[in-house]
Protein backbone atom coordinates (compact mmCIF):
# COMPACT_ATOMS: atom_id res chain seq x y z
CA UNK A 1 0.00 0.00 0.00
CA UNK A 2 1.48 3.35 -1.02
CA UNK A 3 0.54 6.79 0.22
CA UNK A 4 1.84 10.21 -0.77
CA UNK A 5 2.57 12.66 2.03
CA UNK A 6 1.76 16.23 0.97
CA UNK A 7 2.79 19.59 2.34
CA UNK A 8 1.61 22.92 0.97
CA UNK A 9 0.07 21.07 -1.94
CA UNK A 10 3.37 19.50 -3.08
CA UNK A 11 4.40 15.87 -3.19
CA UNK A 12 7.13 15.19 -0.66
CA UNK A 13 7.61 11.45 -0.26
CA UNK A 14 5.99 8.31 -1.58
CA UNK A 15 5.33 6.08 1.42
CA UNK A 16 4.89 2.32 1.53
CA UNK A 17 3.26 0.34 4.32
CA UNK A 18 4.77 -2.82 5.80
CA UNK A 19 3.39 -5.32 8.27
CA UNK A 20 6.11 -6.33 10.74
CA UNK A 21 6.54 -9.78 12.29
CA UNK A 22 8.41 -9.07 15.53
CA UNK A 23 10.24 -12.23 16.65
CA UNK A 24 11.42 -12.95 20.18
CA UNK A 25 14.68 -14.87 19.53
CA UNK A 26 14.59 -17.12 22.60
CA UNK A 27 10.99 -18.34 22.33
CA UNK A 28 10.59 -17.97 18.54
CA UNK A 29 7.20 -16.41 19.25
CA UNK A 30 5.95 -13.18 17.70
CA UNK A 31 4.65 -9.93 19.15
CA UNK A 32 1.22 -8.76 18.04
CA UNK A 33 -1.56 -6.33 18.96
CA UNK A 34 -4.80 -7.74 20.40
CA UNK A 35 -7.43 -5.59 18.66
CA UNK A 36 -10.35 -7.87 17.90
CA UNK A 37 -7.88 -10.61 17.00
CA UNK A 38 -4.10 -10.65 16.97
CA UNK A 39 -2.74 -8.23 14.39
CA UNK A 40 0.75 -7.32 13.31
CA UNK A 41 2.38 -3.96 13.86
CA UNK A 42 2.15 -1.84 10.69
CA UNK A 43 4.52 0.98 9.79
CA UNK A 44 5.05 3.30 6.84
CA UNK A 45 8.46 4.15 5.37
CA UNK A 46 9.67 6.23 2.41
CA UNK A 47 9.70 4.02 -0.66
CA UNK A 48 13.04 5.10 -2.13
CA UNK A 49 15.18 4.96 1.00
CA UNK A 50 17.21 2.13 2.54
CA UNK A 51 14.42 -0.17 3.68
CA UNK A 52 16.21 -1.89 6.56
CA UNK A 53 17.28 1.42 8.07
CA UNK A 54 13.85 3.01 7.68
CA UNK A 55 11.98 -0.03 9.01
CA UNK A 56 14.14 -0.16 12.14
CA UNK A 57 13.51 3.53 12.80
CA UNK A 58 9.77 3.13 12.24
CA UNK A 59 9.55 0.16 14.64
CA UNK A 60 11.56 2.03 17.28
CA UNK A 61 9.25 5.03 16.98
CA UNK A 62 6.12 2.87 17.07
CA UNK A 63 6.86 0.59 20.02
CA UNK A 64 10.29 1.42 21.43
CA UNK A 65 11.98 -1.80 20.33
CA UNK A 66 15.46 -2.12 18.86
CA UNK A 67 15.21 -4.73 16.11
CA UNK A 68 17.25 -6.33 13.34
CA UNK A 69 15.49 -6.91 10.01
CA UNK A 70 15.92 -10.54 8.97
CA UNK A 71 13.99 -10.64 5.71
CA UNK A 72 11.55 -8.78 3.49
CA UNK A 73 8.61 -10.61 1.92
CA UNK A 74 6.78 -9.16 -1.11
CA UNK A 75 3.11 -8.19 -0.98
CA UNK A 76 0.54 -10.68 -2.14
CA UNK A 77 -3.19 -11.51 -2.15
CA UNK A 78 -4.15 -8.12 -0.75
CA UNK A 79 -1.58 -8.20 2.04
CA UNK A 80 1.08 -5.48 2.21
CA UNK A 81 4.78 -6.38 2.04
CA UNK A 82 6.07 -7.91 5.23
CA UNK A 83 9.27 -7.44 7.24
CA UNK A 84 10.49 -10.10 9.66
CA UNK A 85 12.42 -8.51 12.53
CA UNK A 86 14.31 -10.00 15.47
CA UNK A 87 14.01 -8.12 18.75
CA UNK A 88 17.54 -7.16 19.84
CA UNK A 89 16.94 -5.24 23.05
CA UNK A 90 13.92 -5.68 25.33
CA UNK A 91 12.06 -2.43 25.78
CA UNK A 92 8.68 -0.73 25.63
CA UNK A 93 6.18 -2.99 23.86
CA UNK A 94 3.10 -0.82 24.13
CA UNK A 95 0.13 -3.21 23.78
CA UNK A 96 2.11 -6.00 22.12
CA UNK A 97 1.57 -9.56 23.32
CA UNK A 98 3.79 -12.61 22.76
CA UNK A 99 1.90 -15.28 20.77
CA UNK A 100 2.43 -18.25 18.49
CA UNK A 101 2.55 -17.53 14.77
CA UNK A 102 -0.63 -19.48 14.08
CA UNK A 103 -2.58 -17.19 16.44
CA UNK A 104 -2.23 -14.22 14.07
CA UNK A 105 -5.47 -13.27 12.31
CA UNK A 106 -5.73 -14.92 8.91
CA UNK A 107 -6.16 -11.57 7.19
CA UNK A 108 -2.76 -10.32 8.30
CA UNK A 109 -0.54 -12.43 6.03
CA UNK A 110 -1.13 -14.14 2.71
CA UNK A 111 -0.56 -17.90 2.62
CA UNK A 112 2.85 -17.56 0.90
CA UNK A 113 3.90 -14.91 3.42
CA UNK A 114 2.77 -17.08 6.34
CA UNK A 115 4.68 -20.08 4.96
CA UNK A 116 7.78 -17.93 4.50
CA UNK A 117 7.66 -16.64 8.08
CA UNK A 118 7.11 -20.16 9.40
CA UNK A 119 10.23 -21.31 7.54
CA UNK A 120 12.28 -18.52 9.07
CA UNK A 121 11.06 -19.35 12.58
CA UNK A 122 12.07 -22.98 12.09
CA UNK A 123 15.52 -22.00 10.73
CA UNK A 124 14.74 -23.33 7.25
CA UNK A 125 16.43 -20.63 5.14
CA UNK A 126 19.41 -20.52 2.82
CA UNK A 127 20.45 -17.02 3.83
CA UNK A 128 22.69 -16.79 6.90
CA UNK A 129 21.31 -13.29 7.55
CA UNK A 130 17.72 -14.51 7.79
CA UNK A 131 18.65 -16.91 10.58
CA UNK A 132 17.35 -15.89 13.98
CA UNK A 133 20.36 -15.18 16.20
CA UNK A 134 22.93 -14.67 13.42
CA UNK A 135 23.83 -11.30 14.90
CA UNK A 136 25.17 -13.02 18.02
CA UNK A 137 27.62 -14.99 15.91
CA UNK A 138 28.62 -11.83 14.10
CA UNK A 139 29.29 -10.02 17.37
CA UNK A 140 31.53 -12.86 18.57
CA UNK A 141 33.46 -12.73 15.29
CA UNK A 142 33.90 -8.95 15.41
CA UNK A 143 35.00 -8.95 19.04
CA UNK A 144 37.52 -11.73 18.37
CA UNK A 145 39.21 -10.01 15.41
CA UNK A 146 39.19 -6.48 16.86
CA UNK A 147 39.97 -7.26 20.52
CA UNK A 148 37.10 -4.95 21.40
CA UNK A 149 33.67 -5.22 22.93
CA UNK A 150 30.37 -4.16 21.44
CA UNK A 151 29.08 -1.11 23.27
CA UNK A 152 25.45 -2.24 23.14
CA UNK A 153 23.07 -3.98 20.77
CA UNK A 154 21.16 -0.72 20.66
CA UNK A 155 24.24 0.74 18.95
CA UNK A 156 23.91 -1.62 15.98
CA UNK A 157 22.81 0.16 12.80
CA UNK A 158 21.49 -1.81 9.81
CA UNK A 159 21.30 -0.40 6.31
CA UNK A 160 20.73 -3.29 3.92
CA UNK A 161 18.98 -6.65 4.00
CA UNK A 162 17.64 -9.24 1.59
CA UNK A 163 18.78 -12.64 0.37
CA UNK A 164 22.46 -13.03 1.20
CA UNK A 165 23.08 -9.26 1.29
CA UNK A 166 23.74 -7.38 4.50
CA UNK A 167 25.22 -4.06 5.61
CA UNK A 168 25.49 -3.45 9.36
CA UNK A 169 27.50 -0.98 11.44
CA UNK A 170 28.73 -1.87 14.94
CA UNK A 171 29.82 0.59 17.61
CA UNK A 172 32.43 -0.69 20.07
CA UNK A 173 32.90 0.37 23.67
CA UNK A 174 36.02 2.37 22.74
CA UNK A 175 33.93 4.44 20.26
CA UNK A 176 35.41 2.72 17.20
CA UNK A 177 33.04 1.66 14.43
CA UNK A 178 33.15 -1.33 12.09
CA UNK A 179 31.11 -2.22 9.02
CA UNK A 180 30.04 -5.74 8.16
CA UNK A 181 29.13 -6.14 4.51
CA UNK A 182 28.00 -9.30 2.72
CA UNK A 183 26.85 -9.89 -0.83
CA UNK A 184 24.78 -12.53 -2.57
CA UNK A 185 25.57 -14.53 -5.69
CA UNK A 186 25.08 -11.66 -8.15
CA UNK A 187 27.80 -9.63 -6.42
CA UNK A 188 29.88 -12.45 -4.96
CA UNK A 189 32.99 -11.01 -6.64
CA UNK A 190 32.91 -7.83 -4.54
CA UNK A 191 34.75 -9.44 -1.62
CA UNK A 192 37.74 -10.44 -3.75
CA UNK A 193 37.80 -7.12 -5.65
CA UNK A 194 37.58 -5.09 -2.43
CA UNK A 195 40.29 -7.19 -0.80
CA UNK A 196 42.67 -6.62 -3.72
CA UNK A 197 41.90 -2.90 -3.97
CA UNK A 198 42.42 -2.43 -0.23
CA UNK A 199 45.95 -3.82 -0.70
CA UNK A 200 46.73 -1.85 -3.85
CA UNK A 201 45.01 1.37 -2.84
CA UNK A 202 45.72 1.25 0.88
CA UNK A 203 44.27 4.43 2.40
CA UNK A 204 41.81 5.08 -0.45
CA UNK A 205 39.52 2.29 0.79
CA UNK A 206 38.48 1.59 4.39
CA UNK A 207 40.85 -0.83 6.08
CA UNK A 208 39.71 -4.44 5.64
CA UNK A 209 39.93 -6.06 9.07
CA UNK A 210 38.81 -9.61 8.35
CA UNK A 211 36.64 -11.71 6.05
CA UNK A 212 34.22 -14.58 6.54
CA UNK A 213 34.05 -16.60 3.29
CA UNK A 214 31.12 -18.76 4.45
CA UNK A 215 28.99 -15.61 4.52
CA UNK A 216 30.85 -13.94 1.64
CA UNK A 217 31.26 -11.13 4.17
CA UNK A 218 34.01 -8.82 5.27
CA UNK A 219 34.66 -6.40 8.11
CA UNK A 220 35.86 -2.86 7.42
CA UNK A 221 37.03 0.00 9.56
CA UNK A 222 34.36 2.64 10.10
CA UNK A 223 36.58 5.61 10.89
CA UNK A 224 35.57 7.64 7.82
CA UNK A 225 32.11 9.14 7.38
CA UNK A 226 29.78 8.73 4.41
CA UNK A 227 28.62 11.70 2.39
CA UNK A 228 24.94 11.71 3.26
CA UNK A 229 24.12 14.74 1.11
CA UNK A 230 26.10 16.79 -1.41
CA UNK A 231 26.79 20.34 -0.20
CA UNK A 232 24.54 22.99 -1.72
CA UNK A 233 27.19 25.69 -1.34
CA UNK A 234 29.36 25.75 -4.51
CA UNK A 235 32.60 26.30 -2.56
CA UNK A 236 31.94 23.38 -0.21
CA UNK A 237 30.90 21.17 -3.13
CA UNK A 238 34.08 22.11 -5.01
CA UNK A 239 36.25 21.16 -2.03
CA UNK A 240 34.53 17.79 -1.70
CA UNK A 241 34.78 16.98 -5.41
CA UNK A 242 38.38 18.21 -5.59
CA UNK A 243 39.30 15.81 -2.80
CA UNK A 244 37.33 12.96 -4.40
CA UNK A 245 38.86 13.51 -7.84
CA UNK A 246 42.44 13.70 -6.58
CA UNK A 247 41.89 10.65 -4.36
CA UNK A 248 40.41 8.66 -7.24
CA UNK A 249 43.37 9.59 -9.45
CA UNK A 250 45.86 8.40 -6.82
CA UNK A 251 43.92 5.16 -6.33
CA UNK A 252 43.80 4.53 -10.07
CA UNK A 253 47.53 5.12 -10.46
CA UNK A 254 48.17 2.46 -7.82
CA UNK A 255 46.13 -0.04 -9.86
CA UNK A 256 48.00 0.64 -13.12
CA UNK A 257 49.58 -2.59 -14.34
CA UNK A 258 47.27 -4.75 -12.20
CA UNK A 259 44.46 -5.08 -14.75
CA UNK A 260 44.76 -8.86 -15.07
CA UNK A 261 44.77 -9.24 -11.28
CA UNK A 262 41.62 -7.14 -11.01
CA UNK A 263 39.89 -9.09 -13.78
CA UNK A 264 40.84 -12.35 -12.10
CA UNK A 265 39.37 -11.04 -8.82
CA UNK A 266 36.06 -10.35 -10.55
CA UNK A 267 36.23 -6.83 -12.00
CA UNK A 268 34.58 -6.48 -15.40
CA UNK A 269 36.43 -5.75 -18.63
CA UNK A 270 35.65 -2.33 -20.12
CA UNK A 271 38.69 -1.99 -22.35
CA UNK A 272 38.25 -0.11 -25.62
CA UNK A 273 38.66 -3.46 -27.38
CA UNK A 274 35.59 -4.75 -25.54
CA UNK A 275 33.60 -1.61 -26.40
CA UNK A 276 34.52 -2.00 -30.06
CA UNK A 277 33.64 -5.69 -30.07
CA UNK A 278 30.18 -4.99 -28.65
CA UNK A 279 29.50 -1.68 -30.38
CA UNK A 280 27.12 -3.20 -32.94
CA UNK A 281 25.09 -5.01 -30.25
CA UNK A 282 24.93 -1.88 -28.06
CA UNK A 283 23.68 0.38 -30.81
CA UNK A 284 21.23 -2.25 -32.07
CA UNK A 285 19.84 -2.27 -28.53
CA UNK A 286 19.61 1.54 -28.50
CA UNK A 287 17.61 1.41 -31.74
CA UNK A 288 15.30 -1.17 -30.19
CA UNK A 289 14.89 0.84 -26.95
CA UNK A 290 14.18 4.04 -28.87
CA UNK A 291 11.53 2.30 -31.01
CA UNK A 292 9.69 1.39 -27.78
CA UNK A 293 9.60 4.94 -26.43
CA UNK A 294 6.08 6.11 -25.64
CA UNK A 295 6.85 9.30 -23.71
CA UNK A 296 6.82 12.60 -25.60
CA UNK A 297 8.83 14.50 -22.98
CA UNK A 298 12.04 14.02 -24.96
CA UNK A 299 12.41 13.57 -28.70
CA UNK A 300 13.18 10.11 -29.98
CA UNK A 301 16.61 9.60 -31.54
CA UNK A 302 16.08 8.19 -35.01
CA UNK A 303 17.99 5.27 -36.47
CA UNK A 304 20.05 7.50 -38.76
CA UNK A 305 21.28 9.62 -35.85
CA UNK A 306 22.13 6.53 -33.77
CA UNK A 307 24.17 5.20 -36.68
CA UNK A 308 26.02 8.53 -36.81
CA UNK A 309 26.73 8.35 -33.08
CA UNK A 310 27.93 4.76 -33.49
CA UNK A 311 30.42 5.86 -36.17
CA UNK A 312 31.68 8.69 -33.94
CA UNK A 313 31.96 6.32 -30.97
CA UNK A 314 33.99 3.85 -33.06
CA UNK A 315 36.30 6.67 -34.11
CA UNK A 316 36.68 7.73 -30.46
CA UNK A 317 37.63 4.19 -29.43
CA UNK A 318 40.31 4.05 -32.12
CA UNK A 319 41.74 7.40 -31.05
CA UNK A 320 41.73 6.36 -27.38
CA UNK A 321 43.78 3.29 -28.29
CA UNK A 322 46.40 5.54 -29.90
CA UNK A 323 46.80 7.64 -26.75
CA UNK A 324 49.31 6.67 -24.09
CA UNK A 325 46.70 6.25 -21.35
CA UNK A 326 46.84 3.15 -19.13
CA UNK A 327 43.86 1.03 -18.11
CA UNK A 328 43.08 1.13 -14.41
CA UNK A 329 40.28 0.51 -11.98
CA UNK A 330 37.03 2.31 -12.83
CA UNK A 331 34.29 2.74 -10.22
CA UNK A 332 31.00 2.13 -12.01
CA UNK A 333 28.72 3.48 -9.26
CA UNK A 334 30.17 6.81 -8.14
CA UNK A 335 27.23 8.28 -6.29
CA UNK A 336 27.77 10.46 -3.23
CA UNK A 337 26.85 7.58 -0.89
CA UNK A 338 29.94 5.66 -2.01
CA UNK A 339 32.35 8.44 -1.07
CA UNK A 340 33.75 8.62 2.47
CA UNK A 341 35.45 11.61 4.10
CA UNK A 342 37.11 12.53 7.38
CA UNK A 343 40.60 11.02 7.14
CA UNK A 344 42.37 13.75 5.21
CA UNK A 345 41.33 12.40 1.81
CA UNK A 346 38.38 10.56 0.31
CA UNK A 347 37.84 6.82 0.38
CA UNK A 348 35.59 4.77 -1.89
CA UNK A 349 33.30 1.85 -1.13
CA UNK A 350 30.81 -0.45 -2.92
CA UNK A 351 32.96 -2.04 -5.63
CA UNK A 352 30.38 -4.44 -7.07
CA UNK A 353 30.52 -2.38 -10.27
CA UNK A 354 34.32 -2.45 -10.60
CA UNK A 355 35.61 -2.19 -14.15
CA UNK A 356 39.04 -2.21 -15.77
CA UNK A 357 39.14 0.50 -18.40
CA UNK A 358 40.00 4.10 -19.18
CA UNK A 359 40.53 6.01 -15.90
CA UNK A 360 38.89 9.16 -17.30
CA UNK A 361 35.50 7.43 -17.09
CA UNK A 362 35.54 7.78 -13.29
CA UNK A 363 36.48 11.44 -13.60
CA UNK A 364 33.43 12.11 -15.77
CA UNK A 365 31.15 10.27 -13.35
CA UNK A 366 32.49 12.40 -10.48
CA UNK A 367 31.93 15.57 -12.50
CA UNK A 368 28.27 14.57 -12.83
CA UNK A 369 27.98 15.17 -9.07
CA UNK A 370 28.59 18.86 -9.74
CA UNK A 371 24.99 20.04 -9.76
CA UNK A 372 25.57 23.74 -9.15
CA UNK A 373 22.59 25.60 -10.53
CA UNK A 374 24.55 28.31 -12.31
CA UNK A 375 25.82 26.94 -15.63
CA UNK A 376 28.73 29.41 -15.61
CA UNK A 377 29.90 28.46 -12.11
CA UNK A 378 29.35 24.76 -12.84
CA UNK A 379 31.51 24.97 -15.96
CA UNK A 380 34.24 26.87 -14.09
CA UNK A 381 34.31 24.25 -11.30
CA UNK A 382 34.53 21.45 -13.87
CA UNK A 383 37.50 23.12 -15.60
CA UNK A 384 39.38 23.41 -12.31
CA UNK A 385 38.52 19.81 -11.32
CA UNK A 386 39.82 18.49 -14.64
CA UNK A 387 43.05 20.42 -14.08
CA UNK A 388 43.43 18.90 -10.60
CA UNK A 389 42.95 15.40 -12.02
CA UNK A 390 45.47 16.07 -14.78
CA UNK A 391 48.01 17.39 -12.23
CA UNK A 392 48.02 13.98 -10.53
CA UNK A 393 48.18 12.01 -13.77
CA UNK A 394 50.94 14.03 -15.47
CA UNK A 395 53.47 12.03 -13.44
CA UNK A 396 52.36 9.01 -15.48
CA UNK A 397 51.00 10.30 -18.81
CA UNK A 398 51.77 12.81 -21.53
CA UNK A 399 49.75 16.00 -20.77
CA UNK A 400 48.71 16.29 -24.42
CA UNK A 401 47.34 12.74 -24.41
CA UNK A 402 45.41 13.54 -21.22
CA UNK A 403 44.03 16.73 -22.76
CA UNK A 404 42.79 14.89 -25.85
CA UNK A 405 41.38 12.08 -23.72
CA UNK A 406 39.32 14.60 -21.75
CA UNK A 407 37.58 15.60 -24.99
CA UNK A 408 36.43 12.01 -25.56
CA UNK A 409 35.55 11.41 -21.91
CA UNK A 410 31.79 12.26 -21.91
CA UNK A 411 30.85 9.90 -24.75
CA UNK A 412 33.11 7.17 -23.34
CA UNK A 413 31.60 7.50 -19.83
CA UNK A 414 28.06 7.25 -21.23
CA UNK A 415 29.04 4.08 -23.09
CA UNK A 416 30.55 2.69 -19.88
CA UNK A 417 27.31 3.28 -17.97
CA UNK A 418 25.34 1.67 -20.79
CA UNK A 419 27.55 -1.41 -21.16
CA UNK A 420 28.11 -2.04 -17.43
CA UNK A 421 29.00 -5.67 -16.91
CA UNK A 422 27.92 -6.49 -20.44
CA UNK A 423 26.15 -9.72 -19.48
CA UNK A 424 22.68 -8.18 -19.79
CA UNK A 425 23.05 -7.94 -23.58
CA UNK A 426 22.44 -11.67 -23.94
CA UNK A 427 19.94 -12.17 -21.13
CA UNK A 428 16.30 -11.40 -20.39
CA UNK A 429 17.48 -8.24 -18.56
CA UNK A 430 17.61 -6.45 -21.91
CA UNK A 431 13.80 -6.48 -21.99
CA UNK A 432 13.36 -4.75 -18.62
CA UNK A 433 11.47 -1.48 -19.09
CA UNK A 434 13.66 0.42 -16.61
CA UNK A 435 16.80 -0.71 -18.45
CA UNK A 436 15.33 0.43 -21.76
CA UNK A 437 14.45 3.83 -20.26
CA UNK A 438 17.95 4.14 -18.83
CA UNK A 439 19.43 3.23 -22.22
CA UNK A 440 17.39 5.97 -23.92
CA UNK A 441 18.67 8.50 -21.37
CA UNK A 442 22.27 7.43 -21.98
CA UNK A 443 21.76 7.56 -25.74
CA UNK A 444 20.79 11.22 -25.37
CA UNK A 445 23.94 11.82 -23.31
CA UNK A 446 25.96 10.28 -26.13
CA UNK A 447 24.09 12.39 -28.68
CA UNK A 448 24.94 15.62 -26.82
CA UNK A 449 28.56 14.54 -26.35
CA UNK A 450 28.85 13.67 -30.05
CA UNK A 451 27.76 17.20 -31.03
CA UNK A 452 30.43 19.05 -29.02
CA UNK A 453 32.62 21.02 -31.47
CA UNK A 454 35.85 20.16 -29.59
CA UNK A 455 35.20 16.45 -30.05
CA UNK A 456 34.37 16.74 -33.74
CA UNK A 457 37.46 18.89 -34.29
CA UNK A 458 39.70 16.43 -32.41
CA UNK A 459 38.45 13.55 -34.55
CA UNK A 460 39.21 15.48 -37.75
CA UNK A 461 42.76 16.33 -36.72
pLDDT tens-digit series, residues 358-385: 999 999 999 999 999 999 999 999 999 9
Say if residues 226 and 340 touch (Cβ distance below 8 Å).
yes
- 208 and 242 inside one domain: no
pLDDT > 50? residue 258: yes
- DSSP conformation class of 216: T
Q: Which of 440, 366, 375 is nearest to 409 (CA)?
A: 366
> What is the pTM assigned to this prediction?
0.88
- 287 and 344 inside one domain: yes
pLDDT > 70? residue 21: yes
Task: Among 79, 106, 125, give the residue marking a domain's end.
Answer: 125
Distance (Å, rounded) from C-alpha 74 to C-alpha 443? 33
User: In the chain, how many domains are there?
Assistant: 3
List, in sequence order, every residue forming a beta bridge with 327; answer none if it has no partner: none
State the pLDDT at residue 92.
64
- 217 and 360 inside one domain: no
In what helix (H) or strand (E) does residue 447 lie, and over which residues does it extend? helix 433-449
State the pLDDT at residue 77.
82
CATH number at residue 194: 3.30.200.20
Q: What is the mean pLDDT of the chain?
A: 93
- 187 and 325 inside one domain: no
- 173 and 255 inside one domain: no
State the pLDDT at residue 1.
47
CATH number at residue 312: 3.90.1200.10
- 252 and 401 inside one domain: yes
- 322 and 433 inside one domain: yes
In what helix (H) or strand (E) does residue 167 lie, and over which residues does it extend? strand 165-171
Say if residues 413 and 364 touch (Cβ distance below 8 Å).
yes
Say if residues 351 and 190 touch (Cβ distance below 8 Å).
yes
C-alpha dist (Å) from residue 166 to 158, 253, 457: 8, 31, 49
Task: Among 125, 149, 168, give the residue marking a domain's end.
Answer: 125
SS3 407: helix
Task: Among 190, 221, 252, give the residue marking a domain's end.
Answer: 221
- 237 and 213 inside one domain: no
- 308 and 388 inside one domain: yes
Distance (Å, rounded) from C-alpha 143 to C-alpha 153? 13
pLDDT > 50? residue 6: no
Burial of 113 (0-12, 13-18, 19+ CB in 10 A): buried
pLDDT > 80? residue 408: yes
CA angle in degrees (0–180, nearest 5) for 432-73-55: 105
Question: Domain residues for 147?
Answer: 134-221
State the pLDDT at residue 7.
41
Taking residue 383's Cβ as centre, other Cβ atoms within 10 Å add up to 9
Please give the order of strands across the beta sheet that includes 354-357.
Answer: 268-270, 354-357, 328-331
- 273 and 210 inside one domain: no
pLDDT tens-digit series, residues 71-125: 999 998 888 999 999 999 877 666 899 999 999 999 999 999 999 999 999 999 9
pLDDT > 80? residue 9: no
CATH number at residue 89: 3.90.79.10
- 409 and 338 inside one domain: yes
Say if residues 320 and 405 touch (Cβ distance below 8 Å).
yes
- 86 and 171 inside one domain: no
- Percentage of residues of the chain with pLDDT beyond 70: 96
pLDDT tens-digit series, residues 189-204: 999 999 999 999 989 9
Give the mean pLDDT of 332-357.
94
Amino acid sequence: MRRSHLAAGELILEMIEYSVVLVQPDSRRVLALDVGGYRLLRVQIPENRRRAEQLRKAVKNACGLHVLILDLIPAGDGSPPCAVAEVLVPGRKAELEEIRLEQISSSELSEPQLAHVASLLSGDTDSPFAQIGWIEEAIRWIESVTDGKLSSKSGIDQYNVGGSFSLVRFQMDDDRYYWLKATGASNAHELAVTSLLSKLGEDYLPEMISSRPAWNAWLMSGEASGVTELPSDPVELFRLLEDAIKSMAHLQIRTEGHGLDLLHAGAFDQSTEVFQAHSEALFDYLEEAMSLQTSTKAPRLEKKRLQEIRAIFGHVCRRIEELDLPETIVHGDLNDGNILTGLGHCQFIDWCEAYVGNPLISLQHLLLLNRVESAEIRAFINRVLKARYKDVWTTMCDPEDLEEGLVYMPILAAASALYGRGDWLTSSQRDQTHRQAHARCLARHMDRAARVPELLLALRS
